[in-house]
Amino acid sequence: MKKAEFSLSVLQKRLFAVILAITFLFCIFLGRFFYIQLVWEDTLHYRALDQWTREIPVNAGRGLIVDRNGELLAGNRAGYGIYARASAVAAPEKTARLLSEALSEPYESLYAKLTDRSRSEIVIARRTQKSVVERIAQTELKGVYYARNDARVYPYGALASQVIGFTAYDRSGTTGIEAYYNSYLFGKNGEILFDTDLVGIDLKGASAAYVPATDGLNVKLTLDYRIQAIAEDVMGKVLSETSAKAARAIVLDPQDFSVLAMVNLPSYDLNDIPRDDLNTLNALSRNSLVSDIYEPGSTFKIVTAAADIEEHLKGNKRALDPHRHVFSSSRTRTVEGTTIRCWSDHKNGKHANETLAEALNNSCNPCFVDIALSLGKETFYDYLAAFRFGRTTGIDFSGEAIGMLLPESTLKTADFARVGFGQSIAVTPLQLACAAASAVNGGYYYAPRLVAEIFSCDGSVREKTSPALLGRTVSREASAILSGMLEGVVRDGSGKHAYIEGYRVAGKTGTAQKYENGVIAQGKYVSSFVGYFPANDPRYLALVIVDEPQGSYYGSTVAAPCAKQIFEGIIDIMHLAPVEAL
């Protein structure tokens, strides 16, 4: 009896195990079924469609790029691509001969393509004229297909080439705005589907399915092509006249940091891109105003002066009174055994006592050493952070550099003293332009921007980029005091070559020595000037940089006149009336 009960118990357990195993396998198969039906549905459908259909691409039209006035900067020229499927080509010899005659391409290479069955889709011609396609279509060649494939064109050639950028052969953006806003510009391609058998031959009586393309959206820049053209013309002349290595300029609206012009010379024509010489292409297509850094020299004194004025207004006893403090007449300052000299004697061969306004006029380095040391590292670095040195400005453009700002804890006092007049620190030109704009516009720091809005072909605005305030740098009072002093620099000091009667131009010159392998490169300088107008209500700010000019190399004689010419061009095209001077 016990033995029978034991056998029955074992049998029940085994039966239960078998049922459990069957149930487990059933759940696996059921789960797999639902996974294939629900999760893999789209993928499997696409694979089946791809196996039993032939696709002809319908390329979307790439969106336009226009300036702030609606002027076309990047558009499209109608073109068509020619494709073939070897498995569907009925007479490869005849087809290759006719295509060779129509396209002026070697017969042998075309025949090799048409008989290569290792690829499902063969590109015969990426882009050709409509008349050529129409002529080939009349021959009714089996296995040969056609699709729209527009060519990108740039009506102004080299104008703002580093900003606009260019596209690859597949019409996707490669550099510049073309790349940064590619997701908007590219659109969505469509296709025409034909039913075929397993080897890709069209089925008789099969109908075609059409999936339409969605054209890309258009991009409106903040650039003004007229200001861009003026700035490029001015910088092109100084590049030629001084045999400089490079000439660059930025024009900003200080009220919201929208970029009105960006000039990088030498340049290249976007309609004739040197794709076969990558080194040359990389050098010419680089937007150095955003991606490269340099020691700003005396133009940086705007930041040092702004910090001192603001700290004095706050009641910081370490700050030097911008109106009453008189700097020592000594031409040198010695810090940690390092002697820092003034670039020149100022008056009648003798270095005189001077106020902050006079120190800006004369661009006296020792005076700004005094300011930096008086404020101290902690306070001064707070202002460097507020002016966003050592980090990006936030511009809508790829490849922005952060500059080079040594950590406060590791910076020697002698090097810190040099930061006060623009040495021992490296910035991008864009960083400096934005810092100067913030210092004189009331202390507002915005994210600079190159794009104003995204809009569709019917003119409706899809996205609009409004000014983005990132922070405050100084007070309105400090900004007004500084601006008055910088107006004096142009009226009475080193920036007098930027003076325009009746337009209250203000600014600061800079002449910086270049370093190579950690030592000063003899005879190599960067001449610069940052200026704006009107001084009491800034609307246009320009930073001009001339890299390694030959002959005269001072910012006052090389860069300041360029800014004047750019401002005069703006005054002319904008029909700006003179303002009442102080």
Distances (CA, A) of 439 to 56, 62, 249, 541, 554: 57, 40, 19, 12, 24
Element (H, E) at 100: helix 92-103
Judged on CB neighbours under 10 Å (0-12, 13-18, 19+), 406 is middle
Q: Can you give the pLDDT at residue 371?
A: 97
pLDDT tens-digit series, residues 368-419: 999 999 999 999 999 999 999 999 999 999 999 999 999 999 999 999 999 9
Cα 490 to chain center, whole Å? Answer: 31
Q: Can you give the pLDDT at residue 551?
A: 93
Residue 432: closest CA among 288, 574, 328, 562: 288
Q: Rounded distance, CA 201 to CA 218, Å?
A: 39
Q: Can you give the pLDDT at residue 14?
A: 74
Prediction pTM value: 0.84
Per-residue pLDDT of the chain (582 residues; tens, 9 = 90+): 555 555 656 667 777 777 777 887 877 777 666 656 665 655 555 455 454 455 666 778 899 999 999 999 999 988 888 888 777 788 888 888 888 888 888 888 888 888 877 776 788 887 788 788 888 888 888 878 777 778 899 999 999 999 999 999 888 999 999 999 999 999 888 776 655 544 444 545 555 566 778 889 999 999 999 999 999 999 999 999 999 999 999 999 999 999 999 999 999 999 999 999 999 999 999 999 999 999 999 999 999 999 999 999 999 999 999 999 999 888 889 999 989 988 776 555 556 789 999 999 999 999 999 999 999 999 999 999 999 999 999 999 999 999 999 999 999 999 999 999 999 999 999 999 999 999 999 999 999 999 999 999 988 999 999 999 999 999 999 999 999 999 999 999 999 999 999 999 999 999 998 877 777 788 899 999 999 999 999 999 999 999 999 999 999 999 999 999 999 999 999 999 998 644
Question: Would residue 475 show up in a list of annotated catalytic residues for this protein?
Answer: no
Q: Rounded distance, CA 243 to CA 424, Å?
A: 27
The active-site residue, picked from 298, 424, 479, 527, is 298
3-state secondary structure of 470: strand
Domains of the chain, with CATH numbers?
52-221 (3.90.1310.10), 225-271+286-574 (3.40.710.10)
Q: Rounded distance, CA 45 to CA 64, Å?
A: 35
Are 165 and 177 spatial neighbours (Cβ–Cβ below 8 Å)?
yes
Q: Can you give the pLDDT at residue 445?
A: 98
